[in-house]
Amino acid sequence: PTGSLLYPYGPHQGDETNPKHDDGTSEEITLSVPFTFYGKSYQTAFVNNNGVVSFDKPVRQYTPDPFPLADGHPFVAPYWADVDNVLGGDIFYRQTTDPALLADISQDITQYFPKSPFIATWALVATWDQVAYYGSTSQKGNTFQAVLTTDSKMFYIILNYWDIQWTTGAASDGDAETGLGGIPAHAGFNSGDDTNFYNIPGSQTDTIINITTTSNVKVPGRWVFRVDDFQVTGVDPPLLNNDCWL
């Protein structure tokens, strides 16, 4: 959509499309540039239908757990919940070195992190486009995106929330008509160890539906993190509560 937070996506951008399969996942993606996440370098990733980008192995779990996860699985959860793309929507992804896109990403990250000039050399763009929830009897869909990017020294993840209409699938005790209630979606990062993780405010509460209005970079609906050595971006919780958590 024009004026959208989302970076360009879809088949016309050369994206792969995930299979139509409840709790499905992409094939294993061999990263053309290894991605450093919490001090560890990963060569492979999966874009999982249930709103998760995972390293080394897929994630089929549909009801989210709070971070840190007991199983130590490293992943990024833009919006971990019970997506069912058989009922509606598509999940797209691509690795890219497209100069125009990388210029946009570089400009955005440099604006948010002015002390560390950044020129992206690679990105993985994963987009959940109007995806339905498991057990849905409604037309509700969620559209959001995760971007992994690097200049080969610094590693960032951008999470974009464009349109969030539901929080919970029916198997997570959500209401089939509204897609609300039960155990709502979780957003954040799990490093795989017990100490490094981040839960975006509102995760697993009803207020996660408002994630399109929240931010840590003063752009409603966008959260950006440097993840090679984890730092929560220039905001401490009090500022977040007053400034962004509207």
Query: Domain residues of the chain, as ranges?
Result: 11-232
Enumerate the β-bridge partners of residue 225: 157
- Residue 123 pLDDT greater than 90, yes or no: yes
pLDDT digits (tens, 9 = 90+) for 25-56: 999 999 999 999 999 999 999 999 999 999 99
What share of the chain has pLDDT > 90, as a percent?
81
Q: Contact 154/115 with Cβ under 8 angstroms?
A: no
Order of strands across the sheet that contains 142-150: 16-17, 90-96, 122-131, 142-150, 155-163, 222-226
Question: What's the pLDDT score for residue 22?
Answer: 83
pLDDT digits (tens, 9 = 90+) for 94-108: 999 999 999 999 999
> How many angstroms separate the CA atoms of 230 and 246, rounded?
25
Give the mean model confidence (pLDDT) for residues 157-163: 97
Could you tell me the pTM of the whole model? Answer: 0.92
- Residue 177 pLDDT greater than 70, yes or no: yes
- Residue 238 pLDDT greater than 90, yes or no: no
Q: Contact 167/118 with Cβ under 8 angstroms?
A: no
Q: Contact 109/122 with Cβ under 8 angstroms?
A: no
